[in-house]
Structure 1
Amino acid sequence: MATDATLATRFLTSLEIPEGPLAGRPLKLAPFQKSFLKGALADGVNVACLSVGRGNGKTALSAGLALGALLGVWDAQPRREILIGARTRDQGRIAWTYIEGLARSLPDDIRARLQFRRSPILSVTLDNEHEIRVLPADGKSALGTSPTFVLMDERGHWALDRGDSLEHALLTGLGKRGGRALIISTSASDDSHPFSRWLDEAQVGVFSQEHRPAPSLPADDRESLMLANPGAEAGIGASVEWLKAQGRRAIARGGSTLTSYRLFHRNERVSGEARDVLLTTDEWLNCEVSDLPAREGACVIGVDLGGSASMSAAAFFWPATGRLECLGTFPSKPSLLDRGQADGVSARYCEMQDRGELDVLGEQTVPVAPWLNEVARHVQGYEVAAIVADRYKQAELGEAIDATGLRFPIVWRGQGFRDGGEDCERFRRAAFDGQVKSKPSLLLRSAFADAVCLRDPANNLKLAKARSNGRIDAAAATVIAVAQGARMVGRATATKGRMAWG
């Protein structure tokens, strides 16, 4: 007896390619697609995940499987219900259009039994009994369903709140009739995204197949491009030469162009934030070094004091060598795991604590005076040139400094467009010139991923969050510390000669 994967493969290869340069030719499956079919339709598997670069035919493959599920190729249940979840209705229409195109190569008697509807929702019905429906990322629209097959298209880019609601509604409905779910997408922006967790966490009944290269490789590296785009050699999507050319173009342009190329074509887990980011992923990775320079010269301490929900962060910068260290602190209640769940980063805070980058102090809030003592203890025995802090917290921080008896010079900076614009530009310049060197830090990577810049009409910058639950405290502390260090170096190199007029 043929397996479900064998039946699905026979069905798909009986169809014709609906569009593109090879339109009208018999559909052939690439090796990675055959591998996915074998794992996704194996006995005991009810959720299958596929992550691959854009343009590798993942939506077309899953649309063909949805059509096969509608026709009962491997599942002959009565009143079959196939649901396609997508970020928006227009996104779901892509899969629906593929289904319509593939159905044109079916025998005339079968095609005559199909009805395609565009309104009020995108749907396909067979004999007015079996149905495919497209649902946008709104969990309420999937309540009460009992699907036999589910397709979640581009799951890595759904809005977190509504996307999670739709996913939960679809998966809970699957159990009613022993259905299967396909979750396909290019990579999500980070490891804490629900789609990333599907791929990373081994679970019973879940099959995952991911085509993602190692991070930090050149964008136009051929071998890693082939890993992220396994369909290129099989004639699916863009050619390798085109991908390499686009990689070189992305490197030349940099910024969000390079970030988007890494996310979509190289299938890397990087932020796709299109706004003016403080530093892109590649720019910050250039600041990370395996061997830190020595703690030489005076140290500048940048502090960002948080409240009950925010992190308190301290950055330590030695302008003479470019050495940068950063520490974060949260209150102990709620726990770091619970706080990470609320912030949408899963266990990332716990991982930061294990790496020695994050700690807890106090209960509901971080006590300022004891925290400052911990900050000072971190650089005990070294010269401190200044503590740089936000003047918005001047009274609270000043009282704590008096209570601790610390006798360091204090520089107050604003977080608006005036001081913020200068500090952001000085920090960027120092980073681009290779004057900032940090060990690999999950705390700083996370902070810079959430840090964007707002611009006023005069083109001045101000630091802001990319998302409401983002924690950019470590980035804010780093910016003011490095900027103050740059000012100190600039003043130190000023000429000492003076002119006298007689």
Structure 2
Amino acid sequence: MQLAPADAFFAWLEARFVFTAGPKRGQPLRLDPFQQAYVRQVLARDGDDPAHRICIFSTPRKQGKTAVLSCLLLGFMLPDSPICIPMCRAGIAAPTGRHAMFIFQAAIELLAAVGRDDEAKVIQHPSPGFFRTKGGARCDIYSGSKNSGHGASLHLAMIDEAGLLPDNRPLIDNFVDALAIENGQMLATGTRGTNRAYNDLIDNPPKGVAVTIYGAQPGDDYGSPETWHRANPGLGPIKSVKFMRDQWEKAKSAGTEREFAAWNLNVRQTPAKELLIELPQLQAAYDEKAGPVPGEPCFIGLDLGGPAAQTAAVIVYQSGFIRLIAAFPDQPITLEERGHRDGCGGAYRAAHDAGDLITTSGQVTDLPEFLEALTAKIGPHPVASVSCDRYRAAELLTALSRAGIPWRPRFRGQGPKDGNADILATRKLFLAGAMKLHRSQLLELALGETDCRVSFTGATQLDKSSRMSRIDLAQALVLGCSAMLEDREAIPTEYEVEVL
């Protein structure tokens, strides 16, 4: 009795390959039922044609999507496979060329685990590279740009992490066009992400598009193990429940529940953009009677601005009380004209009247004048550190030297490493109820115009919500908060004295 193509493929995988990682390492490679269901869609036929031109497989992270693609890639390219396409031509696109290499690497590891690594090779020169087998099959890497796949002729097109690709429809259209001559298929996987074309195909699949999707539904409790299992069909055999619980606890403590839902529950939202601090968290910190403890040290976050941007400072006292001050130059336009230009009306004039905003002489904020006003704002408190963007280090050091101010500088980058740590520290402090401040409409304005851009690695960076947004106070806030938390959580030095 002849097996159906899918069953023959599963039997071939189990007989020829083993798991290369995880708790099943070394065991025969048998795909889980939810993975097999997707493969059956891919291999379904309508006569001589594929039953589905596009097959989408959308799940939360770490559900074996890359493993399934690597198995299918080997199945189509290796001559002994029951689904082999002679002289197969394939292409893979992903958010980056390095990301696309993950499928190649997984395929090579499968071959190496059973002593077949001499049957295929990854060639990385010329960049971005390609994967080929002894049988003459070849798979090329594409960068993920809008021109990817243009002019190609493919039996198989794969898009890994399609939801994280740049939001350009031409890439998907190019790949579909590349299938025309060979009557091929496109396989797209990944979390829902932010790519509109990918989400449109999931929500409104046209004829010829098959969608396999797992994720939480509206109203689900993101912290419920029942939700975790329903959204993650591989929870247990592929991703451990303990790992999910750790990720959830981490998200709760850092205030990143939406990010958790996007990556671990495949919830449709915008994981690439989120607020620094939710308004209820900020309002909970308002206390008009609060103030610093007499004589306690403070930590300053400083964002130096040019002609258009504010120069801003946030003072974070060790007890968690916050003060702030910002400045604009008084030329070439007035505060009212700046407010009109920036689309915030009379907010700058109101902040000036409230004492949160000053003007300095000239067309660029005068740093000595600003430092004098900042020192007065701090009051009789020692400054433990002043944190600033390392790009402006020389400017700050020069100003401090000329003013004779002995503050200890702490320089930070705004990339995903320092920026992500500073953002998480700020959220942690506000979520814990550790911060107190008097209401500031200027800070509310800055936070309302501040987005946190989330990369596909999960790291966050501050970003403007529009071209004219002024987020200098938000930048200063995360610098000051992270310095204060770093000091709080520092492990005190212990000395051991041996008396002779």
TM-score by length of 1: 0.55
Indicate whether 1:193 and 2:193 are aligned: no
Residue correspondence of structure 1 range 186-335 to structure 2 within 5 A: 186-189=191-194, 193-233=196-236, 235-236=237-238, 238-254=239-255, 257-273=256-272, 277=276, 279=278
CA displacement, residues 336-390 of structure 1 (integer Å, 9 cap, x when unaligned): xxxxxxxxxxxxxxxxxxxxxxxxxxxxxxxxxxxxxxxxxxxxxxxxxxxxxx9
CA displacement, residues 237-283 of structure 1 (integer Å, 9 cap, x when unaligned): x21232123212211221xx323211111111222236753649x98
- In 1: Cα distance, 2:167 partner to 2:135 partner: 35
Contact 2:215 2:265 survives alignment (8 Å): yes
Superposed displacement of residue 392, structure 1: 5.8
Structure 1 residue aligned with 2:72, among 53, 65, 68? 65
Counterpart in the other structure of 1:116: 122
Q: Which amino acid is the alignment partner of residue 440 of structure 2?
A: E
Q: Please give the secondary structure, in 2, of the residue aligned with 1:220.
A: coil
Residue correspondence of structure 1 range 416-431 to structure 2 within 5 A: 422-423=440-441, 425-426=443-444
Q: Which runs of 5+ in 2 are unaligned?
A: 46-50, 283-335, 358-438, 449-462, 479-500
Structure 1 residue aligned with 2:53, among 36, 46, 49? 46
Superposed displacement of residue 416, structure 1: 11
- In 2: Cα distance, 1:198 partner to 1:61 partner: 20
Structure 2 residue aligned with 1:176, among 175, 178, 181? 181
Counterpart in the other structure of 2:292: none
Indicate whether 1:153 and 2:160 are aligned: yes
- In 1: Cα distance, 2:470 partner to 2:22 partner: 40
Contact 1:219 1:251 survives alignment (8 Å): no
Counterpart in the other structure of 1:297: none
- In 2: Cα distance, 1:118 partner to 1:172 partner: 26
Contact 2:339 2:346 survives alignment (8 Å): no
- In 1: Cα distance, 2:281 partner to 2:75 partner: 46
CA displacement, residues 13-68 of structure 1 (integer Å, 9 cap, x when unaligned): 33111223432222222121121112222121121001111111111111111111
- In 2: Cα distance, 1:246 partner to 1:275 partner: 18
Structure 1 residues 36 and 283, CA, compared in 2 at 3 Å: closer, same or farther? farther
- In 1: Cα distance, 2:351 partner to 2:101 partner: 43
- In 2: Cα distance, 1:166 partner to 1:416 partner: 48
Superposed displacement of residue 93, structure 1: 1.6
Counterpart in the other structure of 1:436: none
Q: Which amino acid is the alignment partner of residue 459 of structure 1?
A: A
Q: What is the percentage of aligned positions where both structures have the same residue?
A: 19
Superposed displacement of residue 222, structure 1: 1.1
Superposed displacement of residue 456, structure 1: 4.2
Indicate whether 1:413 and 2:351 are aligned: no
Indicate whether 1:79 and 2:87 are aligned: yes
Structure 1 residues 171 and 411, CA, compared in 2 at 3 Å: closer, same or farther? closer
Structure 1 residues 219 and 453, CA, compared in 2 at 3 Å: closer, same or farther? farther
Indicate whether 1:34 and 2:36 are aligned: yes
Contact 1:221 1:244 survives alignment (8 Å): no
Q: Which amino acid is the alignment partner of residue 16 of structure 1?
A: V
Q: Which amino acid is the alignment partner of residue 267 of structure 1?
A: N
Contact 2:55 2:187 survives alignment (8 Å): yes
Superposed displacement of residue 175, structure 1: 1.6
Indicate whether 1:165 and 2:170 are aligned: yes
Q: Which amino acid is the alignment partner of residue 94 of structure 2?
A: A
Q: Please give the secondary structure, in 2, of the residue aligned with 1:160.
A: coil
Residue correspondence of structure 1 range 120-139 to structure 2 within 5 A: 120=126, 121-127=128-134, 129-139=136-146
Contact 1:53 1:264 survives alignment (8 Å): yes
- In 2: Cα distance, 1:130 partner to 1:84 partner: 14
Contact 2:91 2:140 survives alignment (8 Å): yes
Q: Which amino acid is the alignment partner of residue 201 of structure 1?
A: N
- In 1: Cα distance, 2:156 partner to 2:350 partner: 52
Indicate whether 1:4 and 2:5 are aligned: yes
Counterpart in the other structure of 1:97: 105
- In 1: Cα distance, 2:349 partner to 2:202 partner: 39
Contact 1:69 1:75 survives alignment (8 Å): yes
Instruction: Compute the RMSD of aligned alpha carbons.
Output: 3.9
Counterpart in the other structure of 1:288: none
Contact 1:51 1:210 survives alignment (8 Å): yes
- More deviation, 174-183/3-12: 3-12
Superposed displacement of residue 75, structure 1: 4.6
Structure 1 residues 262 and 283, CA, compared in 2 at 3 Å: closer, same or farther? farther
Q: Which amino acid is the alignment partner of residue 210 of structure 1?
A: I
- In 2: Cα distance, 1:426 partner to 1:34 partner: 51
Structure 1 residues 126 and 457, CA, compared in 2 at 3 Å: closer, same or farther? closer
Structure 1 residues 147 and 425, CA, compared in 2 at 3 Å: closer, same or farther? same
- In 2: Cα distance, 1:218 partner to 1:276 partner: 21
- In 1: Cα distance, 2:228 partner to 2:465 partner: 27
Q: Please give the secondary structure, in 2, of the residue aligned with 1:104.
A: helix
CA displacement, residues 62-107 of structure 1 (integer Å, 9 cap, x when unaligned): 1111111112535554421011111111111211110101122457
Q: Please give the secondary structure, in 2, of the residue aligned with 1:140.
A: coil
Q: Which runs of 5+ in 1 are unaligned?
A: 285-389, 398-409, 431-447, 462-502
Q: Please give the secondary structure, in 2, of the residue aligned with 1:142.
A: coil
Contact 2:446 2:470 survives alignment (8 Å): no
- In 2: Cα distance, 1:277 partner to 1:68 partner: 46
Structure 1 residues 174 and 106, CA, compared in 2 at 3 Å: closer, same or farther? farther
